[in-house]
Amino acid sequence: MLIEINDILPVSVNSAYRTWRGRILISKKGREFKNNVSEIIHKYDKIEGKVKMDITYYFKDRRCRDIDNYQKILIDCMKNVVIEDDDLIYELNLKKYIGCGYNKIVININKLEEINELP
């Protein structure tokens, strides 16, 4: 399954979640991102079971970005919509391009039929 999310800048984990009185809450920015992504991904069928996921981020500007800050909230958006749960992601590949002139997220999800345990 290939999902393209155009013109939406990913939200980093640092700005998506807040702690208040010992509880972790999703921020306004995080809620807006989840709502925007949910509108796009709700039309896709759910993949049951173990999956492999490739996520590619395209950033309009050339600012430095930590690639590991963006997938948490994105994967949370997909949970119970296009995948059952994020604990069923057995392979996750991330890639980023900066300074390409547009914001875009491309997600490729494939069902894994069999996972080899440790050799």
Domain ranges within the chain, ordered by starting residue: 2-111
The CA distance from 111 to 47, in Å, is 7
Q: What is the DSSP string of the chain?
A: -EEEEES-PPPPHHHHEEEETTEEEE-HHHHHHHHHHHHHHTTSPPBPS-EEEEEEEEESS-----GGGSHHHHHHHHBTTTBS-GGGEEEEEEEEEESSSS-EEEEEEEE-S------
pLDDT on residue 61: 94
pLDDT on residue 3: 96
Q: Along the 119 residues of the chain, how does pLDDT read in single tens digits?
A: 999 999 998 888 888 888 889 998 999 999 999 999 999 999 999 999 999 999 999 999 999 989 989 999 999 999 999 999 999 999 999 999 999 999 999 999 999 987 666 66
pLDDT on residue 116: 64
What's domain 2-111's superfamily in CATH? Holliday junction resolvase RusA (3.30.1330.70)
